Structures are given as structure tokens and as C-alpha cells.
Amino acid sequence: MATKPTTVYLVGAGPGDPDLLTLKAHRILREADEILHDDLVPSAILAVANPAAAVANVGKRCGAKTMTQEQINARMIQSAREGRKVARLKGGDPGIFGRMAEEIDALEAAGIPFEVIPGITAGMAAAASLGISLTDRHKSSHATFVSAHPARHDGEDVRPDWKNIVHPDGVLVIYMPGSNHARLRDELIAAGLDPQMPTALISRASTAEQTIQYTTLMNLGRVPPAAAPSILLIGRSLDRASRRQRAPELSVLIDEATSIFSHR
Amino acid sequence: MATKPTTVYLVGAGPGDPDLLTLKAHRILREADEILHDDLVPSAILAVANPAAAVANVGKRCGAKTMTQEQINARMIQSAREGRKVARLKGGDPGIFGRMAEEIDALEAAGIPFEVIPGITAGMAAAASLGISLTDRHKSSHATFVSAHPARHDGEDVRPDWKNIVHPDGVLVIYMPGSNHARLRDELIAAGLDPQMPTALISRASTAEQTIQYTTLMNLGRVPPAAAPSILLIGRSLDRASRRQRAPELSVLIDEATSIFSHR
């Protein structure tokens, strides 16, 4: 008689600090027989796993895939059918730029039960580190989570539709901002965003390696790329953080309009 | 000699399930001397507090404020100066429609150190409950978090600028959708959103009282309001959830185009 497959857990690892795991994610990681994780999940989070668990990095490393999506799907399905408790661990929240939809489709097609455990997404961890509210009654009516990584359609790179995404009263929370900040600045200004808009690039939010670089959209091209995962926040509700940062006791380096500093 | 004020923690309570608290939020709630919480934080989360802690509801109840914003600010500042560990507990993530900016301004003006602890926002918990990804490589390039609650400017109610917010490739994550679903439908269709767009209203995501109502934008006017906190999700990446929901074993009640069911 075939045994009933176990539930596959699609788990948000949060932004990097193990203290920002949810209680539920923490428990599932401790109990899982098998953990299939994305590349950017830090070792401090994998250290939560049961020492007897099989832990595999199934992510992309510098663009090179260690496993194809089909292989990941097949492994989750096989392990669930064998009665193993599988945690598919994704950085941040699994439903925000986590490519979860394909995996859910495969699990559903195979009749495998699944549960999604939300996590703290990097954009919200970045805002928390800056001490700002993404939405603000007076400065920001909405926040848009968008990836600057181009989508591929019919073999062509399609850039985000910035003209219909940017808004003077919104905050942009840009995932995967890439290394060409000058091009991104040009696209956003061409789409109508105010060049004076306060901007912050946050790398590895919530971890000991966190860095924050404050600037304006106009000067974004002069900000060097930061280590992944990084988040670019742009909008008026960042006024508070950049004002605070300009206080002399906090400034480490200021050049004309762009100031760069890092703190924990 | 004046003692150094303690740090005030602005803490995200998550969507309602205590299991979705972060480890950090859980520890701060257990250690706090004083917890000032919004109205919609459920008792299961307040039960985490140290029994000796002072726990006060400082939120709005049916529009009536138990404390003004100024009173909340004054109390946080006084308690921090007296060396008490204060947790200011907000539903979901404190930086998403949590009115945190005013409190941070007051703490900064008073020279009180603070730390923001991010939480799982209701919109992400709702998507997780539906088993969908808010962003999707093929269906949804971005997700916009917006409140349908009108902003008051100069004594007038200002509705969201839907025309410049809706996007065929985006997912709308609408907080405080209100009770007038027909009006909201009319506004969104007038702004250009496809009347056939899959739509779901999720109330009390992640809790035992969770309900999910699937419909299309066109039929949103026929969906009765749900208990707060509720989230309205609209966009093509909901296709998967609504397709799954139409499977006969899950449907409890179907009327023509609007189907309503609740599950845990």
C-alpha cells in the first residue's frame, strides 16, 4: 500500500538574522529531515537544522545553477512520497521574488500537500534597519515591491515598466537592483521620478554584515554596488532616515550630495 | 544623576498566529515591563507577555481612540526615562500602515533610543494562506501595498490615486478595504483594471477565524465585508488559488461567479 505523502513546507528564512525567523519556521527547520535551500540563506540560519538532516544548496551561485528547477521539484516530490519531512527554504518571504509558483504547480500536479510559511522579506527588514515606515500618512500612501532584474520573454530581456510603476507618493522597494546604478537612475528619472528623491541601498539587512548607503536618486550612479542580497529604497518617507543620517555624529563620509556609511 | 533611557522597541506582532511571531519579537514580549498594543493584536499574542508586565490597549476601537497619539508618545517616553523596557506592539509589520513615523519622530525628539522589529505583514500572510506567490515570473512583476482607507487632507477625504497605482502585471495588496466593496470595484475598474481579475478577500489571515472569499473584481460588490483585519488581493497571480478553489472538494458554496468559503 502506498503511504500518504508528507506535507512539503515552503519556508521563508527571513532576511538573514536567525532571530528574525518566525517561531514556526524555526520549529520546522529543527524538525525537517531534508532542507533544500536557496543560495543566499546564511549559515547562521542553516545551523538551526537538526544535525541529522540532509541539507542541500539548490540555488544559483553566480548565475550557475546547482540543480535545475525540474530537479528541485522532482526531489521534493520524491522525498515527500518517501515520507520525509521536507523544508524548501527561501530567503526572505517565499512569495516575494522567490520563484515559488513553479514549485507549487509541480507539488499540486503530483498531489503532494504543501504549506507556505511566510517570512520577513528583505525590504521590510531594510526599512526597519533604517528606522522608517514604508508607508506614512503624510509622505507615502503605498509601497511597491519590484525587482530590477529583467524578465526574459521570447529570448529578450524586458525591463520593468517603470513609467507605470513609479509614483511621487509611493515608496519603491527594489529587489536585485543590479550593478548598473547609473542605468537604473536614468530609467527612473526618465519615468518621472524626482531626481532629489531620498534613496538608500541596504545590503544584507539585519545581519552583522549590513551596510547602508544613503544618497539621492540623482547621485545613485555614484554609489558602488553592494553585496547581495541588497535592497534599494526610494521615496519621500526616507526623508526621516536621511535627515537623521546627516546629523554630524553619524556621518562617517560625506561627498557633496552622496553620503555613504555603514552601521549595524 | 539622570539615568540613561532604555530602548523602546517598536515591534511587529505579525498577522495573528503567535507561531508567526519572530523569535526576537517573542523574546521582547516576554521581557518587556510594559506593552502598549494596537487594538487588533489578538489575545493569543498578548498571552506571551510576562504576567507581571503592564499591558495596555492604546488603539482605536470602532474609531474611538482610547489614547491620543500624543498620550501614547508621552507614555513611551516617560517609561523609557524611568528605565522600563517598553514594547510598542503593532499588528503585522510596524512599517506598513502602522502609523509608526509619528512615534519615531517623538522618540527622536525626546532623545530616546529605539529599535524597529519587523513582523509578518497581513498581506504576505494572506498570500501564504492562499498558497500563492505575490510576485510571479510569468504573471506578476510587482506587488503594491496600499490602503483603501481615505487619507484626510485639509478636512477632506482623499481616495487613493488608483489610476496611477493599478497595473495589469501587478498584484494589489489592499489593506483596510472597507465595507463599500461596490464603490471600490467601480473605482478600480474606472482606473483601468480588468473586471475579470481574480480577487480574494482574506480576513484574519493565519488565525483560527481566517476566512477566504474568492471572486473576480467584477463581482466584488457582491462579497460582504469581512471582520478586520482583512486584506483584498487582486491580480493575475491569484489564478492558481482560484483555480484550485474551484476543485469540487474545496468548494462549500458557489453562486454563479462568486464563491465563498472559509478554511483554516
- Express each pLDDT in A183-218 by its tens digit: 999 999 999 999 999 999 999 999 999 999 999 999
CB A91 within 8 A of CB A175: no
- Give the chain A residue nearest B120 (alpha carbons): A120
Q: How large is the average pLDDT for residues B28-38? A: 97
State whether ipTM is beyond 0.90. Answer: yes
pLDDT reported for residue A246:
59
- Give the chain B residue nearest A15 (alpha carbons): B118
For residue A240, which residues of chain B lie inside 8 Å, CB to CB?
101, 104-105
Q: Are B131 and A14 inside 8 Å of each other by CB?
A: no
Is B64's pLDDT higher than 80? no
For residue B114, which residues of chain A lie inside 8 Å, CB to CB?
131
Q: Are A142 and B144 inside 8 Å of each other by CB?
A: yes
CB B198 within 8 A of CB B127: no
Is A1's pLDDT higher than 60? no
Q: How large is the average pLDDT for residues B57-66? A: 76
How far does the CA of residue B135 sit from the closest CA of chain A (Å)? Answer: 5
pLDDT reported for residue B149:
87
H/E run at residue B30: helix B23-31
- Give the chain A residue nearest B142 (alpha carbons): A146
Q: How many CA atoms lie within 13 A of A206 on its CB side?
A: 32
> pTM for the complete prediction?
0.92
pLDDT reported for residue B63:
62
Nearest to B86 by CA among B22, B10, B2: B10
Is B254's pLDDT higher than 60? no
Nearest to A215 by CA among A170, A184, A175: A184
Contacts of A188 (CB under 8 A, 6+ apart): A162, A166, A172, A217, A234
Question: Distance from CA of residue B230 to its chain's centroid?
Answer: 7
CB A232 within 8 A of CB A248: no
pLDDT reported for residue A241:
78
Which 3 state secondary structure label does DSSP give A78?
Answer: helix
Q: Are A170 and B165 inside 8 Å of each other by CB?
A: yes
For residue B18, which residues of chain A lie inside 8 Å, CB to CB?
23
Is B242's pLDDT higher than 90? no
Is B263's pLDDT higher than 60? no
- What are the pLDDT digits (tens) for A3-15? 789 999 999 999 9
CA distance linking residue B32 with residue B151, whole number of Å: 33
Give the A:B interface size as CB pairs under 8 Å: 188
Q: Catalytic: B60?
A: yes
